[in-house]
Amino acid sequence: MDKKQLDSLLSLIKHLQRQKYPTLVIVVIAIFALFFNTLPSATDGCEVLNIYDGDTMTVQCQGKETKVRLYCIDAPEMGQTPWGKQARDHLRAIAGNSVKLVQIDQDRYGRVVGEVYRGEVNLNLAQVTAGQVAVYDAYCKKSEYFQAEQRATRTKLGIWSAAGIHQTPWEWRKQK
């Protein structure tokens, strides 16, 4: 591992600590990176090209166009009026033109699954905090998302302001 890779690993560890990842997860990622010489990809300065809905966007990072599915969240579909449009518009409003992408995985459709940041603001978590999306508990392992959803539910923000299937987009998709 060269100095640039080591600096990248240290930066990733600090980022994960700020995001309150469990220590064990950080250690496992660091060991994996050291042994296999790979790191989860964090790319600064990605240009936002398009935001399709409340949990999917296309960015251009280092000249490469990438479709991103936001980790841990599930937004109402665009057909779930007015919830889908509101989630998309909120993400557009908070994303700006330039973001940082932290790749976590890749989904079965070939999209990057990741957390997207504008400055220090985690846009995935901001969507949950504003009540625009639900936590996709089948794929989410981070407690801060569940805590933010509980607060949004308790205060009846966004999708939590009225009961309905828009609160569980995965159930809505099953019915279609």
The catalytic residues are 69, 77, 111
DSSP string computed for 69-129? EETTEEPPPTTSTTHHHHHHHHHHHHH-SEEEEEEEEE-TTS-EEEEEEETTEEHHHHHHH
**20: helix, coil or strand?**
coil
Q: Which two tokens stand for residue 96?
A: 């700006």
What is the C-alpha to C-alpha distance for residues 39 and 47, in angstroms, rounded to an integer? Answer: 22
Strands 98-106 and 73-74: unpaired
Longest dimension (CA), the chain: 53
Other C-beta atoms closer than 10 Å to the C-beta of 95 total 19
What is the C-alpha to C-alpha distance for residues 74 and 68, in angstroms, rounded to an integer? Answer: 13
